[in-house]
Amino acid sequence: MTTTVIAPPLAPSNAPDPAPYAEHAARGSGDPVHGKALFSDVKVGCVRCHRIQGQGGQIGPDLAGIGTKYGRPSLIEAVLYPSRQIAEGYAQTLVRTSAGSVLAGLVRSETADELTLVDAEGKLHALRKTEIDARGWANGR
């Protein structure tokens, strides 16, 4: 097994420019009801990894009280560029198997013979280390 950086899929070339959203967020006062609805929308994706007040995914940090820990510019950047800064202990691991599939998730456990990842859907993937062709991090750590 080799340790390498496995590049994640790139954002679609037709992805909207985030600058107008950042400008709007910096000027506006925010709408907590709308924000909660967006956070909970599985198409947006926040709730798959993060939780607030015990509701949501288990692979990202709990975001309860996040607004008291960080200023508006940091929060805007975190929403528009969620993978730019990853909290300690939450770096996503990518694994390419000898069969050619690629799995992504957090390492839940590891022994000399086996690696267990939990993906964004909360599903556990137990892999024998002999089936792992390459292992790395999504953000190049």
Amino acid at 65: G
- Same fold for the pair 30-80 and 91-137: no
Q: What pLDDT shows up at residue 24?
A: 92
More confident residue, 46 or 120: 46
**Long-range pairs for 22-29 at CB < 8 Å and ≥24 separation?**
22/76, 22/77, 22/80, 25/72, 25/76, 25/79, 26/72, 26/73, 26/76
Q: What pLDDT shows up at residue 45?
A: 83
Domain ranges of the chain: 30-80, 91-137
Q: Which whole number is the average pLDDT over 27-41?
A: 90
CATH topology of domain 91-137: SH3 type barrels. (2.30.30)
Give the integer Cα–Cα distance in Å for 65 and 40.
Answer: 16
The CATH H-level superfamily of 30-80 is Cytochrome c-like domain (1.10.760.10)
pLDDT, tens digit, 9 for 90 and up, residues 70-129: 999 999 998 888 878 888 888 889 999 999 999 988 999 999 999 999 987 889 999 999
